[in-house]
Amino acid sequence: MNKLELQKTANEVRKGIITAVHGAKAGHPGGSLSAADLFTYLYFEEMNVDPKDPKKADRDRFVLSKGHTAPGLYSTLANRGYFPVEDLPTLRHLGSYLQGHPCMQETPGVDMSSGSLGQGISAAVGMALAAKMDNKDYRVYTLLGDGEIQEGQVWEASMFAGHRKLDNLVVIVDNNGLQIDGKIDDVCSPYPIDKKFEAFNFHVINIDGNDFDQIDAAFKEARATKGMPTAIICKTVKGKGVSFMENSAGWHGKAPNDEEYAVAMADLTKIGEELGGAN
């Protein structure tokens, strides 16, 4: 996809996030919207996956370590063709295959159940290790929140990945700067994030995670990096694309009501029109 197509697709993913969370009357829109461009790039450009064969043996893997942003992953998978976009409003409903946090047994395309923060990265490391042990060339991607990296297990996993030189692993940090209790640097600062991953023997790339040119360059650089895992630290805007959700910790885990839903969808429709309409 070219940049404009990616932008248009990401906007559709954002609409799906808002629709899902509105339908659920609960969920996590802020961190789903901040990472929507990353989700889009991964599933529409970067990863070797096949929606018609979600468990294909040598596919690239993705682990949503920040599992609460399941609406972002689900909307991306739906738009990619894993399941109908029309099912997104069943998110979190009783009996739905779209659980509040990713469940690999329920949802096509979900490679690992996750949601308890700090655990997904370890599973991703295990997948990357399996590829190395079997001399397979699939790659493994995992997305973490910047609040999530306060969990100690993240650094256990990073130490191991660096030690084992897992160059088929890309750790992506969605650095939107906010967690439930406020700004990450007020709550318990994880900064400097890049220096920490460097210290754990990662190749580190800092980018604007809402800019497809920079995202594209970073993932190409990661692919070319040999002998060490890559961490891409992405500065993003929490709630990106929805005027009243942007840079607001309050929209970390809250669903829009009907009026807010209408405003949010109008915001996104306007962005879509500015991009020149549908793909």
Q: Which residues bind another protein (CB under 8 A)?
A: 61, 63, 103-105, 111-113, 115-116, 118-131, 133-134, 152-153, 156-157, 159-160, 163
Q: How far is the CB of 44 from another protein (least distance, A)?
A: 23
Nearer to another protein, 103 or 263 (CB): 103
Nearer to another protein, 119 or 176 (CB): 119
Q: How far is the CB of 209 from another protein (least distance, A)?
A: 24
Nearer to another protein, 120 or 239 (CB): 120
* Distances from the Cα of 24 to the Cα of 21, 79, 249, angstroms: 5, 18, 19
Q: How far is the CB of 99 from another protein (least distance, A)?
A: 10
* Distances from the Cα of 239 to the Cα of 138, 220, 245, 252, 273, angstroms: 32, 26, 5, 8, 19
Q: How far is the CB of 25 from another protein (least distance, A)?
A: 24
Nearer to another protein, 58 or 213 (CB): 58
Nearer to another protein, 144 or 249 (CB): 144
Q: How far is the CB of 75 from another protein (least distance, A)?
A: 22
Nearer to another protein, 101 or 252 (CB): 101
Q: How far is the CB of 112 from another protein (least distance, A)?
A: 6
Q: How far is the CB of 169 from another protein (least distance, A)?
A: 10
- HEC sequence for the chain: CCHHHHHHHHHHHHHHHHHHHHHHCCCCHHHHHHCHHHHHHHHHHHCCCCCCCCCCCCCCEEEECCHHHHHHHHHHHHHHCCCCHHHHHHCCCCCCCCCCCCCCCCCCCCCCCCCCCCCHHHHHHHHHHHHHHCCCCCCEEEEEECCHHHCHHHHHHHHHHHHCCCCCEEEEEEECCEECCEEHHHHCCCCCHHHHHHHCCCEEEEEECCCHHHHHHHHHHHHHCCCCCEEEEEECCCCCCCHHHCCCHHHCCCCCCHHHHHHHHHHHHHHHHHCCCCC
Nearer to another protein, 159 or 263 (CB): 159
